[in-house]
Structure 1
Amino acid sequence: MSQKNTILAVFIAMLLLNFSLEGTAQNNSLDLTTQEKMLYRRGVETAVWAMPLTNTLAMRNGFKDQGCGFNNVAYFSEIQDYKASVTTPNNTTPYILSFWTLENGPVMIEIPAIENNVGLWGALMDVWQRPLADVGAKGRDKGKGAKYLIVPEGYTGQTYDADYVLTQKTKNGYTLLRPIIPDDSEKSMNLAINFTKKMKVYSVEKPKPTKHVDMANKYIDGVVHFDMSLFEMIADFIQEDKLEERDAVALGMLRGMGIEKGVEYTPSKREKEILSVAAKEAQEYLQDTYFDNSPKANLGNGWTVLTPATSYQTVFNWVVESGAMALDDRGSSYFAFFSSAEEFNLTNPPTMYLLTSRDANGDKLKGEHTYKFTVPANCPVNQFWSVLAYEYNDATFIDNVDKYGVASTEKLEFNADGSCDIYFGPTKPKDVPESNYVPTQAGEGWFPYFRFYGPKKELFQGKYQLSKIIKLNQNNMK
């Protein structure tokens, strides 16, 4: 697709982002002039447009604040918990992240080969979370290890014996990797740590030893805050990174908001007030879209895949066959999760995640209520399954609880027919085993991700479906 057509695609997509401005302004007690209404509207639309970007920047800044800068490798010596505030993390595999910049030239990423049955898998991405390459056991090197050289567009210099040369359109990039280990035992975690420390990230023109930073038990603020800080983060990005012609329309709207390359961003107190409300409206729109109005495939009983087909069918470029950019799909997806993949499908993926946000009555899940969820027998997985609960507000682990979900690798109690009852609520129901209980917070909405590790074909053939989540009361607490 030509750049002019791509610009038109973005413009068309933004025209389709229709918001009830007048009603929203009334709901938030804003009495807006004509010019302020346009500022408000552009604030909502650019927040949706920038979601994959701000998602990345929030993580990068959060890790940086805890000592992990550019070209460092962050790892967790203990499985991440709520203190690592990122969107929908798991609690079965320790994360590995690294952020880099091409400011000082190409960056080399060395992925080690599988050793002692320990390997890595994940994707290298640009700041917009477009995949550059899948790496590790399920990536291009197939677990044999490789040197990946990240270069800017138009680069014609030497390649430093790299196995793969990847062109990155932006200055900033990052990776999310996961170690392949059998469990989270002390032995397995030590193997993962030692293996991770063999990974290298460095500028080839100014090479330095790679710094590996343990992020365990550190408070990492790695999620987008839907307030004025969102637009300040966008403004900082506009100054530091390379801008693409495809985003000319969005950049034009930002210019009308006072955000422009080479220009200091100095919003007035009134503008900050308006944009803070606009950011909150964007958050509500993204939530409503992701959970209830997104064209995600339904695999039965309201359990859908995590992202619409516009993601994996376009290799997370989000420009669909008609030429339009799927801004709503992209923005709402990156409200709830991070990362992407070069190779992904619904026929033979290495993992499959499903989500729901409502109970069997169609009501949103609330932390003050108690629910029962039965995992049907014969779950079609080659490895294991897990189900985790997240906060509806920002898609992070529920704060200040000692447990986030359960997995079939744990000592759960199963029913005689092979099914497994899992209970969610602010307090554990009487006679429910501790192993099968997941705590929630009263007053907070929540939603689950059900993860199939090594899913079998029965899941995609519709032969196996997860059950609906049932709200309990005093008369049916079991």
Structure 2
Amino acid sequence: MDTPAAHPGRLGSVVMDGELPRREDLGIVFDELDHQMATQAYLWALPLVSYAQWQRVHTDEFGAGPSDLVHYESYRDRLGLMTANATTPYILGFIDLGITGPLVVDLPAGPTAGGVSDFWQREIGAMGEMGPDQGEGGRYLIVPPGQDVPDDADGYHVLTATGMNVMFGFRTLGTDAAQAQRLVDAVGLYPYAHRDAPPPTKVLSPAGRTWSGVQPKGLEYWERLHEIYQSEIVDERDRFFLAMLRQLGIEQDKLFTPDERMTRILTEAAAAGELMAQANAFAKRFPGSRYWLDRQWDLVLMLDRSDQRAAGYDQLLERTAWFYEAVSFSAAMKSRTPGRGQAYLGTYTDVDGRWLDGARRYTLRVPADPPAKLFWSATVYSADTRCLIDNPQERGDRGSRDPELEYNEDGSVDLHFGPEAPAGRESNWVQTVPGRHWFCYFRLYGPLEPYFDRSWKLDDIRPA
């Protein structure tokens, strides 16, 4: 006897033939199976697709070669970079070690922070002030996975890559623009095979062009995932996910040609996966993510280690949260040492727990003496793109490096957010965009003890 199935969602339309589904309804069950696999694969692949998309921008839009760098200097240059710092420039490149072979990085001495990561955005090694050169500069050798270190590699800091595709990048930390440019001009990136006569490193610029490193939507997400796996190794921990991708038509050494049914399923799963990623990032439910229990500020980086592993499991949802809203991870970004590295806090709502609205006016009081050895900044990002807010003001942050910042008599600072500047407070204002939600990162560079012991407490963002 046929009876409706007691299942939620799409499976609720399945009719049971006794204890089994009707054979004519099996298509509904398999559609749901493939949809669920695709949704989970979407969340799993976020960091990989993020770098794959950005790598494509470098080659297709900026014309970067296998060992070229791109210098993101102006505000407009950084508008496509997820949760970019609006204060310091970025210099980086994406390298396929299958093309270059072992790769040399010549990092000059000076105030820099950087490193190398694979396309799962796992840090392979830090460089600069938090790396083995300690800001004194050095020569690094990146060896592809599965290859031996060359016998004549004495004098190099050797890093063994955990993937065939890697990102090398660094930021200049000083305030001297001329010094920063000298550091950019002095960096070297070239194949180890060319070490005796290294070619000049080409440094390109977005030159204000519109671009996006955000993971693409719809079917293009899966196209990018398929492309990157043609030149990437398979980690042992990911073999079950690769089985899911195989069912979805994504395999190494095979074309990706989804039919009408699979195109529909993948498009719907990308939309559902992004909805889950938004909730997972913007309404964090990880134990310990709320930094002060009576405030709306979260630790945005819930990853414990750069290899994304924890005791007994890998941090899938913590990884998904960070790499949906940001790019790159370094141990320096989650400093545990006073005066070193950085600390990142984020808020996605106002004091009452409502999403931050680009049409409304808000204030944020930063108490006196923020615990930062170097500087602090508050930066506004678009909730849709997770990139710096694209406003007519062409400015997304305010912080202690701003010479025009106005302080209160007690040393605190009132920051203002809204579509129009409050009268007489333009120097402390970041312009928001009506019709768009936004969120805010508060960064401390060289966080000090009052941050770590939580004796210094940041106020919530409040409607004006």
Same fold (TM over 0.5): yes
Question: Which is greater in Rg?
Answer: 2
Deviation at 1:275, TM superposition (A): 1.3
Q: Aligned partners of 1:82 and 1:193: how far apart in 2?
A: 16
Q: Report if aligned partners of 1:83, 1:219 keep a CA contact under 8 Å in 2.
A: no
1:346 matches 2:336: yes
Report the alpha carbon displacement of residue 444 of structure 1 after superposing the two structures with TM. Answer: 0.9
Residues in 1 aligned to 2:258 and 2:57: alpha-carbon distance in whole angstroms: 24
Correspondence for 1:72 among 57, 68, 71: 68
> What does residue range 29-108 of structure 1 map to in structure 2 within 5 Å?
33-64=28-59, 65-76=61-72, 78-81=73-76, 84-104=79-99, 105-108=101-104
Q: 1:143 to 1:346 in 2, by over 3 A?
A: closer
Displacement of 1:342: 4.3
* CA distance in 1: counterparts of 2:54 and 2:143, whole angstroms: 22
Structure 1 residue ranges without an equivalent (≥5) = 1-19, 26-31, 183-187, 473-478
**1:153 equivalent in structure 2:** 145
Q: CA shift at 1:159, angstroms?
A: 4.3
SS in 1 for 2:189: strand
Q: What's the counterpart of residue 16 of structure 1?
A: none
Preserved CA contact (<8 Å) 2:335 2:343: no
1:33 counterpart SS class: helix
8 A contact 1:66–1:220 mirrored in 2: no
The offset of 1:340, in angstroms, is: 1.5
CA shift, 1:21, in A, is: 6.1
Match of 1:331 in 2: 320
TM-aligned CA deviation for residue 253 of structure 1: 0.2
Work out the CA distance in 1 between the residues paired with 2:151 and 2:203.
27
For 2:248 and 2:230, how far apart are their aligned partners in 1? 15
| Paired residue secondary structure (2:76) | coil
Aligned position for 1:199: 187
Provide the C-alpha distance between the structure 1 equivalents of 2:260 and 2:177, rounded to a whole number of angstroms.
Answer: 49
Which stretch shifts more, 161-170 or 390-399? Answer: 161-170
**CA–CA distance in structure 2, aligned partners of residues 275 and 227 of structure 1:** 7
Structure with the greater relative contact order (CA < 8 A, sep ≥ 6): 1 or 2? Answer: 1
Pair 320,21 (structure 1): closer, same or farther in 2 beyond 3 Å:
farther
Q: Relative to structure 1, is the Cα distance of residues 24 and 125 closer, same or farther in structure 2, using a 3 angstrom cutoff?
A: farther
* C-alpha contact 2:362 2:418 (8 A) present in aligned 1: yes
Q: CA distance change for structure 1 residues 439 and 248 in 2, over 3 Å: closer, same or farther?
A: same
1:446 maps to 438
3-state secondary structure, aligned to 1:74: strand
Q: How does 1:447-466 map to 2 (within 5 A)?
A: 447-466=439-458
1:305 matches 2:299: yes
Q: Using the TM superposition, give the Cα deviation of residue 215 of structure 1 relative to its aligned residue in structure 2, in angstroms.
A: 2.8
Q: Distance in 1 between matches of 2:440 and 2:382?
A: 9
Matched letter for residue 190 of structure 1: A
Partner Cα separation in structure 2 for residue 327 and residue 292 of structure 1: 16
Aligned length: 432
Contact 1:366 1:445 in 2 (8 A): yes
User: For residues 262 and 24 of structure 1, do their structure 2 counterparts lie closer, same or farther at Cα, with a shift above 3 Å needed?
Assistant: farther
What is the distance in 1 between the residues matched to 2:357 and 2:11? Answer: 26
SS in 2 for 1:302: coil
Could you list the per-position Cα deviations for residues 403-454 of structure 1 after superposition, in whole angstroms to 9, with x for gaps in the alignment? Answer: 212112221222222211111112223x241111111111111000011122
Match of 2:356 in 1: 365
3-state SS, counterpart of residue 385 of structure 1: strand
Q: Do the aligned partners of 1:302 and 1:468 also contact (CA within 8 Å) in 2?
A: yes
Alpha-carbon distance in structure 1 between the residues aligned to 2:285 and 2:186? 41
Q: Is the 8 A contact 2:417 2:432 kept in 1?
A: yes
Quick one: percent identity of the two aligned structures? 29
User: Cα–Cα, structure 1 residues 456 and 251, in superposed 2: closer, same or farther, change >3 Å?
Assistant: same
Match of 2:116 among 124, 142, 145: 124
2:166 pairs with 1:178: no
**Secondary structure at the residue paired with 1:170?**
coil
**For the Cα contact (< 8 Å) 2:53–2:213, is it kept in 1?**
yes
1:432 and 1:361 mapped to 2: Cα distance? 27
Matched, 1:245 2:236: yes
Please say if residues 358 and 435 of structure 2, whose CA atoms lie closer than 8 Å, have aligned partners that are also in contact: yes
Q: Residues 151-209 of structure 1, C-alpha deviation per residue, up to 9 Å, x if partnerless? A: 12332333444422211121100123101212xxxxx3332122212111111225543
Structure 2 counterpart SS, 1:225: coil
For 2:116 and 2:75, the matched residues in 1 are separated by 21
Among 246, 258, 261, the alignment partner of 2:252 is 261
Q: TM-score, normalised by structure 2?
A: 0.88
Contact 1:79–1:93 (CA under 8 A) maintained in structure 2: no
Residue 290 of structure 1 is matched in structure 2 by 281
Counterpart of 2:415? 422
- Whole-angstrom CA distance in 2 between matches of 1:96 and 1:82: 11
2:141 is paired with a residue whose SS is strand
Q: Distance in 1 between matches of 2:253 and 2:289?
A: 43
Deviations 1:99-154 (A, max 9, x none): 1121142111111123xxxx321121111111111111221111222111111233
Distance 2:82 2:12 in 1: 27
Instruction: Give the letter for the 1:328 counterpart.
Output: L
In the alignment, structure 2 segments of 5+ residues that lack a partner are: 1-7, 14-26
Question: Could you tell me the TM-score, scaled by structure 1's length?
Answer: 0.85
- d(CA) in 1 for partners of 2:361, 2:66: 44
